[in-house]
Amino acid sequence: MIPIHELLSRIRWDKEFARGEFKIGYYDRLADRIIQVPFTDLVFPKDDHFAFLIWDEDGEVHSIPYHRVREVYKDGRLIWHRKL
């Protein structure tokens, strides 16, 4: 299985592979469930190679470590997953 940081990089930088709609499912410890977010909502800070940022509906920013990513979907089809 490809490491998640490599898959996220490929989605970001490989224009041919990145065609389509991607969703990332990450494990939220407080909600105790997987939260799915559109890949286009993710922000990758230049100085952090282990996490991405997302904003919730209240405008609060959350740093999500790569190890909490559990699923990646492309056009609604599961293309990558990690067990809980």
pLDDT digits (tens, 9 = 90+) for 32-71: 999 999 999 999 999 999 999 999 889 999 999 999 999 9
The model carries a pTM of 0.91
Rounded (to 5) percent helix, strand, coil in the chain: 20, 40, 40
Is the pLDDT at 83 greater than 90? The verdict is no
- Please state, in angstroms and as integers, the Cα–Cα distance from residue 66 to each residue in 16, 24, 58, following that order: 23, 11, 23
pLDDT at 1: 83
Task: Report how far Cα 7 is from the mean position of its chain's Cα atoms.
Answer: 10
Domain 4-81 has CATH 2.30.30: yes
Q: Where are the domains of the chain?
A: 4-81
Q: Tell me if 24 sits within 8 A of 71, measured CB to CB.
A: yes
Are 65 and 51 contacting, i.e. CB atoms less than 8 angstroms apart? yes
Check pLDDT > 80 for residue 84.
no
| CA R_g for the chain | 12
